[in-house]
């Protein structure tokens, strides 16, 4: 079954689809997928399935038989409960594709896919520490040369999302190679690194203030994932989570009294006093 090319994916986007990746972001994803010749990709956070259709379309230019493993917590599209999560993929690329969508799971519950993953797209909960936890959960399924794409690393610059730093924290902490495209700054591409350096990066991002409290039963599931790491890295990851797991909750100080700025007198270059507010 031949998958549609990127241009046709946009032309056949169902009218009900919204809140999907932008066109320039889709082009950036497709460019990267073609460059690394991805054949087996994984996505966390599919919603309508539009980004899945984009990823698969680019993969289909690399090989005849690509695989896309997609995961989402929600069974139905989060903004339109009359649609199934991933439904747009089937409307865009109908029939017979290797699009393996599983809903009702968080990343810690993802089982080892049937292929070694060469491209991962993380676009689920963007609040710290979720993207880092997602990466912890899937890291052992990635090839050593895999590329990890993080969506919404510019989210904190949108006023209503200012406390949504998870993808940004992880991208900025990554000590390996990484890049963005200047017309799609919201997606960060990170090149996989060895376990010690990956854990170092993830721990650095976990040490930032958390923007979500993760329920103890969920943390236990991530702890199972952590058991796959080398003992010294297990200790580092567990120590960071223990230290920061109660850090969520933005402390806003209200009713601060307005004060009149003080006028300071500083000498100008010629020694005369000038007033600075
Ligand atoms: C921004 S939408 C994804 C948009 C999609 N990638 C696109 O561009 O077409 C985020 C999705 O992540 C899912 N989600 C949120 N938190 C999640 C979590 N912790 N684990 C898995 N999925 C999650 C939501 O149900 C939602 O469908």
103 lines ligand 1 (CB under 6 A): no
pLDDT at 93 over 70: yes
Cβ-Cβ contacts under 8 Å for 160 (sequence gap 6 or more): none
What is the average per-residue pLDDT within 41-62? 98
Q: Which of 72, 101, 154, 186 to mutate to test the pocket of ligand 1 (most atoms within 8 A of CB)?
A: 72
Residue 96's pLDDT is what?
A: 80
What is the average per-residue pLDDT within 107-115? 98
Q: Is the dihedral of CA 126, 129, 131, 134 positive or negative?
A: negative
72 lines ligand 1 (CB under 6 A): yes
Q: Cα of 94 to ligand 1 centre, how many Å?
A: 22
Homologous superfamily, domain 6-252: Vaccinia Virus protein VP39 (3.40.50.150)
Closest CA to 211 of 185, 258, 242, 244: 244
pLDDT at 261 over 70: no
Residue 253's pLDDT is what?
A: 75
Residue 263's pLDDT is what?
A: 62
173 lines ligand 1 (CB under 6 A): no
78 lines ligand 1 (CB under 6 A): yes
Q: Where are the domains of the chain?
A: 6-252
The Cα 92–Cα 34 span in angstroms is 20
Please list the residues that pair with 275 across neighbouring strands. Answer: 265
76 lines ligand 1 (CB under 6 A): no
pLDDT at 274 over 80: no
The Cα 71–Cα 105 span in angstroms is 7
The Cα 151–Cα 161 span in angstroms is 14
Q: Cα of 275 to ligand 1 centre, how many Å?
A: 53
46 lines ligand 1 (CB under 6 A): yes
pLDDT at 276 over 60: no
Percentage of the residues of the chain whose pLDDT score is greater than 90: 87
Instruction: Report CA 242 to chain centroid distance, whole Å.
Output: 23
């Amino acid at each position: 079954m031949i998958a549609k090319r990127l241009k046709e994916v946009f032309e056949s986007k169902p009218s009900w689809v919204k809140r999907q990746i932008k066109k320039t972001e889709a082009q950036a994803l497709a460019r990267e997928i073609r460059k690394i010749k991805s054949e087996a990709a994984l996505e966390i956070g599919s919603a309508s399935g539009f980004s899945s259709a984009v990823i698969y379309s680019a993969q289909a230019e690399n090989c005849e038989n690509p695989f896309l493993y997609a995961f989402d917590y929600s069974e139905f599209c989060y903004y339109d409960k009359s649609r199934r999560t991933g439904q747009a993929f089937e409307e865009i690329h109908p029939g017979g594709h290797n699009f393996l969508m599983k809903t009702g799971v968080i990343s810690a519950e993802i089982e080892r896919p049937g292929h070694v993953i060469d491209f991962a797209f993380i676009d689920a909960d963007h609040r710290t520490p979720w993207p880092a936890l997602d990466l912890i959960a899937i890291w052992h399924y990635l090839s050593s040369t895999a590329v990890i794409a993080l969506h919404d690393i510019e989210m904190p610059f949108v006023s209503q999302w200012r406390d949504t730093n998870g993808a940004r924290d992880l991208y900025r902490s990554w000590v390996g190679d990484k890049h963005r495209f200047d017309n799609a700054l919201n997606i960060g591409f990170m090149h996989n690194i060895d376990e010690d350096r990956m854990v170092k990066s993830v721990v650095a991002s976990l040490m930032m203030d958390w923007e979500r409290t993760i329920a103890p039963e969920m943390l236990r599931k991530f702890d199972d994932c952590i058991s796959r790491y080398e003992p010294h890295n297990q200790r580092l990851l567990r120590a960071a989570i223990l230290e920061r797991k109660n850090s969520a909750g933005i402390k806003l100080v209200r009713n601060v009294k307005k004060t009149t700025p003080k006028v300071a007198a500083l000498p100008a270059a010629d020694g005369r006093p000038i007033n600075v507010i």
